[in-house]
Amino acid sequence: MSEDPTWEAPAGSWASSAARRRNMQAIRSRDTKPEKLIRRLVHAQGLRFRVAARPLPDLRRTADMVFRPVKVAVFVDGCYWHGCPEHYVPPRTNSGYWSEKVLRNVTRDRDTDRRLREAGWLVLRFWEHESAEECSLAVCKAVADRKARQTRASR
């Protein structure tokens, strides 16, 4: 990649400029601030979980938090990348590429949810703009409910 400010993206490239390419590559796909805050709050409640793990070994997709024993998978979705109905703003440059990318992400998210549910998992999805406190309470409640259900079933 050229540092030349006059650099132009090759035809079919996802980046409209060298600066845009650097900005987009710097965006984190895991360990985002909302994820870390929710994880910290859930951990403070005494719950332990896997981070950025595959809930299903044969599915090449990772959840942000995985509670394997009770089959709870938590995703904290970014508003732009996952098409938040409240905050998603279509891009002004290279809109065809990015709109298709977001649509593929949304389609993959729905497919992931379906596959996990079919395997007996509870899928919790939160938007990055949601209150971390409320999200962590929902996660803790879901895990506690699933544990209680397992305990009752094993009696």
CB-facing half-sphere around the CA of 17: CA atoms within 13 A: 7
The residue to which tokens 């590559």 are assigned: 25
Q: Which helix (H) or strand (E) holds 46?
A: none
Higher pLDDT, 72 or 20: 72
Look up residue 31 and give its DSSP letter. Answer: S
* Res. 12 pLDDT band, cuts 50 70 90: low
The pair of structure tokens assigned to 153 is: 């079933």
* Res. 2 pLDDT band, cuts 50 70 90: very low
With a cut of 50, say whether residue 7 has pLDDT above it: no
For each of the domains in the chain, give its residue range(s) and CATH number, in order of start: 28-154 (3.40.960.10)
pLDDT digits (tens, 9 = 90+) for 95-128: 888 899 999 999 999 999 999 999 999 999 999 9
* Res. 28 pLDDT band, cuts 50 70 90: low
Task: Show the DSSP H helices in 28-154 as ranges.
Answer: 33-44, 95-118, 132-154
Return the pLDDT at 30: 77
pLDDT digits (tens, 9 = 90+) for 45-96: 999 999 999 999 999 999 999 999 999 999 999 999 999 999 998 888 888 8
Beta carbons within 10 angstroms of residue 7's beta carbon: 14
* Res. 15 pLDDT band, cuts 50 70 90: low
| pTM for this predicted structure | 0.82
d(CA 79, CA 155): 43
Return the pLDDT at 59: 95
